[in-house]
């Protein structure tokens, strides 16, 4: 008997076999204390037992007489507060007595004398049974076959098969307590044969079911063949079947009498027209369309406003304004039971969740969805359909979407409403007026259908990137809700709550295998993405997880991955964007403007230089007309106020001035660069450096007045990301500061100005 007591680990759901490794995680204090005790010992040995009953805590005699002497191979604490251990079973032992001291079970044990059971007869039978079992049972892993070369005794063979066999915990416990090798071999053979009988019975049942399905398919095939033969022969019965089919559909329609009369007239034409007439197919298609539309079929909106709010919050971060608008609409609708659906237009940069938010709105309301994209459309027939006189005519996309939705009150999403084009084929924006005008869309008439369809019950949600590019006549009928860029910290929160859990599930991983720390996520956001939304961030997270899956499956690397900031380059390569470069030393004639791009906000460095010439103004940097005019206004404003600014007129008269906006391959335009250009020029003329941690935005007039600008939130967020800590803004934009997150505004000093003279005094006078 082993005189030294060693710890006992009681497992109620896992069985450890000799010569077999298991991985276990604990979050129970009792188990942790035992593992700590084992880990502190020199040999790291313990006895693992599986209790006979659940009363072992109060009745120590419920613990079995046999267990497995095991060794702790690895212990690791994981971030979720659990402890992961790897335990290897060594051999069966007989437990002589148990003790429970200091919250831990301990025991003495005796070696089990194992007779030389290299019984070739049972050994060979067991091998053959295993081969037949693996070949037959689909859910049995064949990995066990690769380990048979290392097995030479019946004892080891029984334990190896028992560890792989897909049986219940109680069965595996029985294998441990059966110490006689031959008895254990018989038990394994019996269990495998029993499972094989079940598999055989299951296959017989499946075969019978498949035979019955084949019979029904055969019958269907013959019926379809008869139908085709009738059509080829011009059999009138085929046409009669279709007429009967359309009559049944028409009888079930909940539509106006006018529509029913139209269907009846077309059916009458279809009955009397010759089978050889080219109009036959056209009338058939028309009847199919008009009888398939959900004329008055509607779904009931969800009345539980709390549930609607929870669904919207669970799918999208922030966006309080649009969520509030939906809740207000539902509240008033429930209160009056008679309310026109709003026509909402979500405007914002790509990737901020406009389309997905519209889908979430439909889900929260309990409505069906229809979705079309009008980007690039230049034919108004795409919206209002083709006349039936044209060959191949079909309804427009609005009616097509309504038919697919199957209800008369879906949430209808119209994407890219700012990207329609107008040419000789027509103006699709004008065609959308009848669709989106609440005063007339209850009598929408598609050119193909020809009958009025009520669109007033439809909730239209349009999306656009630029509000300026939406045709004015459409914009006047839309309820504009702007979705701004996400801040870094909003992206971090979105990644943790939405993107990472979804990506882990898609890649078959869990939080027990991968954890991405906050600093690593911020590194990806800052140095690998340049976007207003989170699409690129989502793609990069998928790239990172793919590489981890490869390591796990191909390189057999099963360690826990805790991704830190310094690990990102290993998975995603070199950094793409370096905002730290904007913190370099200050320069004369260089000022940070503020831009609103498709990626959200960013700083826009403006450079100015001069050289001998004739007072010409040279502009470069792929500028639009508005920016060119801003530069001219800024230059002429300085010339007209040169004495006030203390600038020698000779500098202006004897030199050419060159203003350049770097990144010339990117087109730039917009009314917000005036004060930045003015500051860059005065800095050049007065040889005064402008701090790199300063930026400004706002248009200037010839009198020096500073005009308000748009996209303030995105511009401020972009400047903050680039290290700017002082910003000059038009005074009329002061109220817009409320929309900017506090984590951004707390780091920045804002100076609001009404006239450029205030900026000049603050930069060029106060510090002199």
Catalytic residues: 672, 715
Joined tokens for residue 746? 């707390």
What does the radius of gyration of the chain's CA atoms come to, in whole angstroms? 38
CA 298 to chain centre: 30
By the 10 Å C-beta count (0-12 exposed, 13-18 middle, 19+ buried), 543 is classed as: middle
- Spatial CA neighbour of 416 closest among 374, 479, 377: 374
Which secondary structure element, helix H or strand E, spans residue 321, and what is its range?
helix 320-336
* β-pairing verdict for 444-445 and 561-563: unpaired
By the 10 Å C-beta count (0-12 exposed, 13-18 middle, 19+ buried), 431 is classed as: buried
C-alpha 51/C-alpha 59 separation (Å) is 11
Got the DSSP string for 34-56?
Answer: HHHHHHHSSS-EEEEE--SSGGG
Which secondary structure element, helix H or strand E, spans residue 27, and what is its range?
none
Sequence-distant (≥ 6) Cβ neighbours of residue 248 within 8 angstroms: none
Got the DSSP string for 229-244?
Answer: HHHHTT-HHHHHHHHH
Joined tokens for residue 456? 């007033």
CA 506 to chain centre: 11
* Residue 742 burial (CB count, 10 A): 8
Long-range pairs of 33-41 with CB within 8 A, sequence gap ≥ 24: 33/103, 33/104, 34/7, 34/9, 34/104, 34/105, 35/9, 35/72, 35/75, 35/83, 35/85, 37/7, 37/104, 38/7, 38/9, 38/72, 39/72, 39/75
In contact, 358 and 312? CB cutoff 8 Å = no
- Spatial CA neighbour of 167 closest among 129, 137, 212: 137
In contact, 459 and 363? CB cutoff 8 Å = no
* β-pairing verdict for 749-753 and 694-696: unpaired
Under DSSP, the state recorded for 705 is B
Q: Name the phi and psi angles at 753, rounded to 5.
A: -130, 150
* β-pairing verdict for 104-111 and 343-347: unpaired
In contact, 427 and 366? CB cutoff 8 Å = no
C-alpha 360/C-alpha 312 separation (Å) is 6
CA 128 to chain centre: 50
C-alpha 223/C-alpha 227 separation (Å) is 6
Sequence-distant (≥ 6) Cβ neighbours of residue 121 within 8 angstroms: none
C-alpha 503/C-alpha 509 separation (Å) is 8
- Spatial CA neighbour of 365 closest among 313, 322, 303, 423: 303
| 217-254: burial string, b at 16+ Cβ within 10 Å, e else | eeeeeeeeeeeeeeeeeeeeebbeeeeeebeeebeebe
- Spatial CA neighbour of 340 closest among 474, 481, 456, 480: 456
In contact, 589 and 632? CB cutoff 8 Å = no
Q: Name the phi and psi angles at 649, rounded to 5.
A: -65, -25
- Spatial CA neighbour of 406 closest among 296, 257, 245: 296
């Amino acid at each position: 008997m082993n005189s030294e007591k060693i710890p006992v680990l009681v497992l109620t759901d896992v069985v450890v076999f000799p010569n077999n490794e298991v991985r276990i995680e604990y979050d129970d204090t009792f188990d942790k204390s035992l593992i700590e005790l084992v880990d502190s010992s020199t040999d790291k040995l313990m006895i693992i037992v599986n209790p006979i009953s659940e009363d072992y805590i109060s009745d120590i005699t419920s613990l079995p007489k046999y267990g497995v002497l095991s060794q702790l191979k690895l212990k690791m604490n994981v971030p979720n507060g659990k402890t992961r251990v790897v335990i290897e079973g060594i051999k069966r032992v007989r437990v002589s007595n148990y003790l429970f001291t200091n919250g831990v079970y301990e025991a003495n044990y005796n070696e089990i004398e194992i007779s030389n059971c290299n019984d070739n007869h049972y050994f060979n039978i067991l091998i053959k049974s295993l081969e037949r079992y693996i070949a037959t049972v689909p859910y049995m892993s064949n990995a066990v076959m690769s380990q048979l070369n290392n097995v030479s005794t019946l004892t080891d063979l029984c334990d190896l098969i028992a560890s792989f066999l897909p049986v219940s915990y109680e069965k595996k416990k029985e294998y441990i307590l059966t110490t006689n090798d031959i008895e254990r071999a018989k038990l394994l053979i019996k269990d495998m044969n029993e499972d094989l009988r079940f598999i055989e019975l299951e296959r017989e049942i499946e075969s019978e079911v498949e035979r019955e399905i084949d019979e029904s398919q055969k019958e269907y095939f013959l019926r379809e063949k008869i139908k085709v033969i009738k059509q080829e022969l011009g059999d009138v019965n085929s046409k009669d079947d279709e007429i009967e089919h359309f009559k049944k559909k028409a009888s079930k329609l909940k539509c106006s009498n006018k529509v029913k009369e139209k269907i009846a007239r077309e059916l009458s034409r279809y009955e009397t027209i010759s089978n050889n007439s080219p109009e036959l197919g056209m009338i058939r298609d028309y009847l199919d369309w008009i009888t398939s539309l959900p004329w008055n079929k509607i779904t009931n909106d969800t009345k539980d406003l709390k549930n609607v709010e929870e669904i919207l919050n669970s799918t999208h971060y922030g966006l309080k304004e649009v969520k509030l608008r939906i809740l207000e609409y539902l509240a008033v609708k429930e209160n009056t039971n008679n309310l026109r659906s709003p026509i909402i237009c979500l405007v914002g940069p790509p990737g901020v969740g406009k389309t997905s938010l519209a889908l979430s709105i439909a889900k929260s309301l309990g409505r069906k969805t229809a979705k079309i994209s009008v980007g690039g459309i230049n034919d108004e027939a795409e919206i209002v359909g083709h006349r039936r006189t044209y060959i191949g005519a079909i309804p427009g996309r609005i009616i097509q979407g309504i038919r697919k939705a199957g209800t008369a009150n879906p949430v209808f999403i119209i994407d890219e409403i700012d990207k329609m084009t107008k040419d000789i084929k027509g103006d699709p924006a004008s065609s959308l007026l009848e669709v989106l005008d609440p005063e007339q869309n209850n009598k929408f008439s598609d050119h193909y259908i020809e009958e009025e369809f009520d669109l007033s019950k439809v909730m239209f949600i349009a999306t656009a990137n630029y509000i300026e590019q939406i045709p004015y006549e459409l914009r006047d009928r839309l309820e504009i809700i702007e979705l701004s860029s996400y801040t870094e910290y909003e992206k971090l929160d979105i990644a943790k709550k939405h993107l990472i859990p979804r990506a882990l599930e898609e890649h078959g991983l869990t939080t027990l295998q991968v954890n991405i720390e906050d600093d690593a996520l911020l590194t990806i956001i800052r140095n690998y993405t340049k976007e207003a939304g989170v699409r690129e961030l989502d793609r990069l997270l998928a790239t990172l997880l793919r590489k981890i899956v490869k390591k796990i499956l191909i390189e057999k690397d099963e360690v826990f991955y805790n991704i830190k900031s310094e690990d990102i380059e290993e998975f995603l390569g070199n950094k793409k964007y370096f905002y730290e470069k904007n913190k370099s030393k200050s320069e004369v004639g260089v000022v940070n403007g503020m831009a609103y791009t498709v990626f959200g906000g960013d700083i826009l460095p403006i450079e100015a230089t001069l050289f001998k010439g004739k007072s010409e103004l040279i502009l470069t940097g792929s500028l639009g007309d508005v920016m060119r005019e801003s530069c001219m206004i800024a230059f002429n404003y300085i010339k007209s106020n040169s004495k006030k600014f203390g600038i020698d007129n000779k500098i202006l008269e004897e030199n050419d001035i060159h203003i350049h906006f770097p990144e010339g391959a990117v087109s730039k335009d917009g009314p917000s660069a005036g004060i930045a250009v003015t500051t860059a020029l005065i800095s050049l003329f007065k040889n005064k450096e402008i701090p790199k941690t300063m930026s400004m935005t706002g248009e200037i007039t010839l009198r020096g007045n500073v005009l308000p600008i748009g996209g303030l939130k995105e511009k401020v967020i972009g400047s903050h990301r680039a290290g700017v800590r002082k910003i000059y803004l038009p005074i009329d934009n002061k109220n817009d500061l409320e929309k900017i997150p506090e984590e951004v505004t707390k780091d920045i000093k804002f100076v609001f100005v009404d006239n450029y003279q205030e900026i000049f005094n603050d930069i060029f006078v106060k510090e002199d």
